[in-house]
Structures are given as structure tokens and as C-alpha cells.
Amino acid sequence: MFKILWSLLLTVSGSQASMPLAQRNTEFAVDLYQAICSSQKNNIVFSPLGTTLVLGMVQLGAKGKAHQQIRQTLKFHEPSTGEEFSVLKSFFSASSEKKQEFTFNLASALYLQEGFSVKEQYLHGNKKFFQSAIKLVDFQDTKTCAETMNAWVESKTDGKIKDMFSGEEFGPLTRLILVNAIYFKGDWKQKFKKEDTQLMNFTKKDGAAIQIPMMKALLRTKYGYFSESPMKHQVLELPYKGDEFSLIIILPEEEVSIEEMEKLITAHQILKWFSEMKEEEVEISLPRFKVEQKVDFKEALYSLNITEIFSGGCDLSGITDSSEVYVSQVVQQVFFEINEDGSEAAVSTGVHIPVIMSLARNQFIANHPFLFIVKNNPTGSFLFMGRVTNPDTQNVKGRDLDSL
């Protein structure tokens, strides 16, 4: 299950042809990943979709250099119409439909300081393109305001993200906060059986070995082995029920460091892997893991040349006539968990794996650091992206294997 929260605080101070959607989404996701991983040593999880959403909401009211920087970073080269975010409509549509295969909620809200003047056209655009709810609050009453916003976030993320705001984020000059929440929970199309999960060694990035619960299954799924000097790696796709979303695992060979792969990976390569993977029978060992992270994206966005929105002189006149409005903070919080829960046993196509591994031709054993992507297949958009260098072990300490 995956949950994301974006918050963006705005504070008052004293042509070329469009590239294909999947390529544009992937290029931006890889650029952002590389900007983040350079400053993060351990596990990483973030949402490229959430980033696009919150930057789009700012871009809608930005002018001049601020507007141009956001569009260049998001790989939009054609003139702005707002319709470039129309792809988001498919996500909003999916989040409004009750589907048995998965649960997907995408919600956004604008919290405005009571009495602060925001242009009607901006509010209309946010409602049209991002379906944002408009809520009036008093940021001077920090406790009540934090409680109100936290309750909204918690309700949109199935209770998994609590207490996002403490009230310390609000000051006497806070005027507008944009909040986005994404919640996704999908059942595996092919199930991992809990009785097959075993404790196995996982070698962390620093070389130390720890014991973790490793899920096991023999599945027929998309798989590829790629040798692109100096990178050698396996790529595995695990679709969720309904085939609208998939988890992609990119596992380097043990002699290839995760940092080396991160520096060399490109959007072109990722799209090439997706197109060249073939359905094969694969013997899979995958950690049951959980990553929870709150990241301030200001440094990463700076490195991607989104700098203007953070300065007091930026032009956000599409939002308000106030001349001294800028972005003070961009924060994302994500809860990401992978476990055995999947499709119902009656329709499972997974094959039981005995304790002694079979001699299947392809073995995918994720017992060392790897990258992962959660992809929306119809649009090619990346909901989530990250790396696992140390799977969470808190659930197995002091417990017997039989209790896993």
C-alpha cells in the first residue's frame, strides 16, 4: 500500500514538438530521482506524479521566469494552455470509481488564510485541472489549523499518514498551503503465499548482512536480463490486479553498486527495458519491506533549476495581486509497503515453492539493494519511485519464522 502527501507553503515576505507522454514522464522521474539520491544515503521513496501535480498547481499561477523554469523541468516545450495536465483527469477518474481490483485516491486542497485575496481564475483553474477543494482557515490559530489539515490528510490516506502538520510550519505571513494526497493499495495479480515466506540474508549497501522475511513465488511474468557495460541487471514486473498498475524491480548484479547504477540510469534505458521484457517463468525472492519518509524537496528542485519560486521577487501574479508571495517549503511524505497480500486464493496463479528452490531457468533473488517503480500502465506515469538499501526488519525482531 502506498500513500503520499505533498504540502507546499506560499508565504508573504517583508518551441518544439511535444515528446511522447511516457518519455516526458520518465525523463522527469529519472531527473528528480537522481537529484534526490545524491543527498540520501539509505532508503528512498517519492512520487513523481505527486511532484508533477504540485508543480502544476504552482505553474498555473506563475508568470515569467518562475513559469518557464517549472515547464522546462516538467519537459513541457509547447505553449501553456493548462490542458497539458489533462492526463491527470484519468487519475481523478480512477480515484472516483470504486473498483474491486485496487483502491486509488487522488485528492488536493487549497487552504487559504481567511481574508487573503486569491484570483478567481486561479481557483477555477485548480478546480478544473486538479479538482482542488478550497478551504478557508486561520493560520494564526496554529493548533486548530494543524488539526484540521491533519484530519483531511488522514482521511485521504486511509489513516496511514498522521500528524503531517505540527503547526510550526505556519507563521504570521502564511497565506496559502497546497496539499495533495495520493493513496494506492493494490492486490497482486499473482499472489505470494504467506506460508512460503522465509527468513533470508539481505546484504545492505554497506556490506553488512541482516535477516529479513523474503517472499517467494514461481510466477510467469515479464522479465529481462540486461548487460549494458558497466551495468548488469535484472528487471522484473509484478502487475496488480486489473493490470492498470505494476511494480517494477530493477536489481543490479551483486558486483554492481547501487550508486553506480543510479548515476548511469537514463529514461531511454528504462523505456527500452519496458519494451524488451518478455513473459517468462521466474523464481522470485522479494523482501517484504516498508519505507516511510518525509522529504523537503527544496534542494532537489534547486538542482533541477527550479529556483525562482523560492525567491521573494518571483512572479506569482496569476495567484494573487500581492507582489511579495513566494514558495517557502515543499514537503512530501510517503508511506510505502510491500507484502504478500494479493489476489484471492481462489483465483491465484502463483505456484507454491518448496523450501528447496526448484531449478527454474530464471532466478530473481532481491537479496541486495534495488530500485523500484510503481507505474500506471495506460499513461506510463510513475506513481512512486525509490530504492531499498535496508528493508525494514522491525516486524521480525524476536519472532519465530512460523509467525511471519
Residue 24: exposed, middle, or buried by beta-carbon count in 10 A (0-12, 13-18, 19+)? buried
Same domain, 66 and 175: yes
> Which residues constitute the domain of residue 359?
194-289+340-403
Read off the CATH number of the domain in which 175 is found.
Answer: 3.30.497.10
Residues 6+ apart with CB under 8 A from 141: none
Same domain, 33 and 141: yes
Backbone angles phi, psi at 143, to 5 degrees: -65, -50
| Residue 246 grid cell | 505494476
Same domain, 97 and 224: no
State how far the Cα of 403 lies from the Cα of 400, in Å rounded to an integer.
Answer: 6
336, 353, 371: which is the final residue of a domain? 336
Residue 293: exposed, middle, or buried by beta-carbon count in 10 A (0-12, 13-18, 19+)? middle
Same domain, 93 and 72: yes
Q: Beta 102-113 vs 133-137: how paired, if at all?
A: parallel
pLDDT of res. 54: 85
Same domain, 155 and 268: no
Residue 19: exposed, middle, or buried by beta-carbon count in 10 A (0-12, 13-18, 19+)? middle
Q: Vertex 388, ends 382 and 394: CA angle to 5°?
A: 125
Same domain, 134 and 261: no
Residue 346: exposed, middle, or buried by beta-carbon count in 10 A (0-12, 13-18, 19+)? exposed
pLDDT of res. 356: 40
SS3 sequence, the chain? CEEEEEEEEEEECCCCCCCCHHHHHHHHHHHHHHHHHCCCCCCEEECHHHHHHHHHHHHCCCCHHHHHHHHHHCCCCCCCCCHHHCCHHHHHHHHHCCCCCEEEEEEEEEEEECCCCCCHHHHHHHHHHHCCEEEEECCCCHHHHHHHHHHHHHHHCCCCCCCCCCCCCCCCCEEEEEEEEEEEEECECCCCCHHHCEEEEEECCCCCEEEEEEEEEEEEEEEEEEEECCEEEEEEEEEECCCCEEEEEEEECCCCCHHHHHHHCCHHHHHHHHHHCEEEEEEEEEECEEEEEEEECHHHHHHCCCCHHHCCCCCCCCCCCCCCEEEEEEEEEEEEEECCCECCHHHCCCECCCCCCCCCCEEEECCCCEEEEEEECCCCCEEEEEEECCCCCCCCCCCCHHHC
Same domain, 142 and 241: no
Same domain, 323 and 370: no
Q: What is the pLDDT along the chain (404 residues), one digit of tens a residue?
A: 444 455 556 555 543 334 577 788 899 999 999 999 877 888 888 888 888 888 888 888 899 999 999 999 998 876 666 566 766 766 666 666 656 667 777 778 888 888 888 899 989 988 888 888 888 889 899 999 999 988 988 888 888 888 888 888 888 888 878 787 777 778 888 888 888 999 999 999 888 999 989 999 999 999 999 988 778 899 999 999 888 889 999 999 988 888 888 988 999 999 999 999 999 999 999 998 888 777 778 888 999 999 998 887 889 899 888 877 888 777 787 878 888 874 322 222 233 333 344 444 689 999 999 999 999 888 888 989 999 998 864 443 333 334 44
pLDDT of res. 96: 62
Query: Around 72, how many Cα atoms within 13 Å sit in the side-chain half-sphere?
Result: 12
Same domain, 298 and 281: no
Read off the CATH number of the domain in which 260 is found.
Answer: 2.30.39.10
Contact 320, 117 (CB under 8 A): yes
State how far the Cα of 33 lies from the Cα of 168, in Å rounded to an integer.
Answer: 28
Give the count of domains, the chain.
Answer: 2
Same domain, 321 and 298: yes
Same domain, 160 and 142: yes
pLDDT of res. 79: 66
pLDDT of res. 12: 55
Backbone angles phi, psi at 235, to 5 degrees: -130, 130
Same domain, 253 and 172: no
